A = this chain, B = another copy of it.
Amino acid sequence: MSTGQRGRAVTIDDVAARAGVSRSAVSKVIRGAYGVSAAMMDRVTTAIEDLEYRPRVSARGMRGSTYTFGLEIPDVFNQFFPKLIDGAMAQLAKDGSYQLVVAPADLNHIEVTRAIQALADRQVDGLVAITPMVDPEWLERLSRRLPLVMLGRHDLSIGYDTLVGDDDLGARLAVQHLIAQGHRNIAHVTLTEAIAESRPGLPHGIRCATYRSAMEEAGLGEYIRVVRAEPGERAASVAARDLLSGDDRPTAVFAAHDEPALGVLRALDELGLTTAQVAVVGYDDTEIAGHPRMSLTSVNQSGTAMGARAITLLLERIAGRTTAAHEVMEPRLMVRDSSTQWHPTSRERRRAGHVN
């Protein structure tokens, strides 16, 4: 039976009246706080159910917590993020007391900042954010107000936690794998400098730097070639088409993440080429990479585990931790057809210095 469905909503006072107890008592029961007799617990619980009472989170937030964690996502189409959300949800479900709320943003400084700010304005009890573009000082200041975990940053922050894949290792795995497959002419497709290099130490910047040094170390410095594109599979495919139809076609492409890697695959298809002629490696191991139609070799940086770990870090902060955590997750290379079916032409074999 329910009352108050229309007109004024049911408040904590209605519950208190119905249960014949004080407002504070109801509050304690709701929060599972100490000092409530079983009898009162019972009466209050019944009243809550009878009235279908739901505490207003705004009101709770005025004094206490909102029981809400915020997650800012800089690109709704990037298929890495669902893994992250999935991992976070699973971890949150174990605890049971917090609700996850996602603020989607567009991939630029202003929109990302706006989304993070919007979550903070809504007084989330903890915030997980992903963005290369916001400066550490702003984040340090934000972290004085609430627990903050930044994903994909190598910052040595003091106020907020960071959780990041080992981009150097991941990129090295990718490039060395290609070299081991016999490739020498390996190109790298990444995002525009405005995005990838807007600050030092960004994941894409590191992957690119590692690509360069891994090539140098293998004596392949002369083959280093970095192609940049705006975000999105289509933009990457356009850039890749130029690369692949040029004079000196690379025999392999290492893409900074799976989205441009799919763009490279598109470009190959459009040019009538296959991964037997140009190997492709991506980064993030998104779900579609494992589909046989793509079979895209990719660096897995365990987004699910990362999402779960981010939640744990927030809960630790709420439980009292005050020193910053800086965790690096080890990536692993998922080898698939896109990088193992290379058949070099005789010219390519010659250039590569093979005897045969």
Contact = CB atoms under 8 A, between A and B. Distances in A.
Given A101-B103, A120-B54, A76 B68 contact: no
Contacts of A101: 101-103, 118, 122
Nearest to A82: B76
Interface in A257-308: 262, 265-266, 269-270, 287-288, 291-294
Contacts of A265: 291-293
A38 interface: no
Given A6-B144, A102-B102, A233 B57 contact: no
Interface in A84-101: 85-86, 89, 99-101
Given A76-B85, A269-B293, A288-B288, A103 B102 contact: yes
A181 interface: no
A248 interface: no
A66 B77 contact: no
A85 B66 contact: no
Contact of A58 (B9, B123, B292): B123
A81 B25 CA distance: 42
A350 interface: no
A200 interface: no
Nearest to A86: B76
A56 B6 contact: no
A122 B57 contact: yes
A233 B62 contact: no
9 contacts: A57-B122, A58-B58, A58-B62, A59-B62, A77-B287, A89-B104, A101-B103, A266-B292, A270-B292
Contact of A291 (B6, B120, B266): B266
The residue in A68, A82, A120 that gathers the most chain B C-beta atoms within 10 A of its C-beta is A82
Contacts of A106: 89
A99 B123 CA distance: 14
A233 B66 CA distance: 36
A266 to B, nearest CB: 6
B82 A77 contact: yes
Given A57-B123, A58-B66, 11 more contacts: A6-B144, A54-B120, A55-B121, A58-B59, A77-B82, A85-B104, A101-B101, A101-B103, A269-B293, A288-B288, A293-B294
Contacts of A199: none
Interface in A53-86: 54-59, 61-62, 66, 68, 76-77, 79, 82, 85-86
A141 B6 CA distance: 9
B85 A5 contact: no
A49 to B, nearest CB: 14
A58 to B, nearest CB: 4
The residue in A66, A101, A141, A294 that gathers the most chain B C-beta atoms within 10 A of its C-beta is A101
A141 B5 contact: yes
Contacts of A99: 103, 115, 118, 122
A145 interface: yes
Contacts of A79: 79
A6 B59 CA distance: 23
Nearest to A89: B104
A144 B115 CA distance: 29
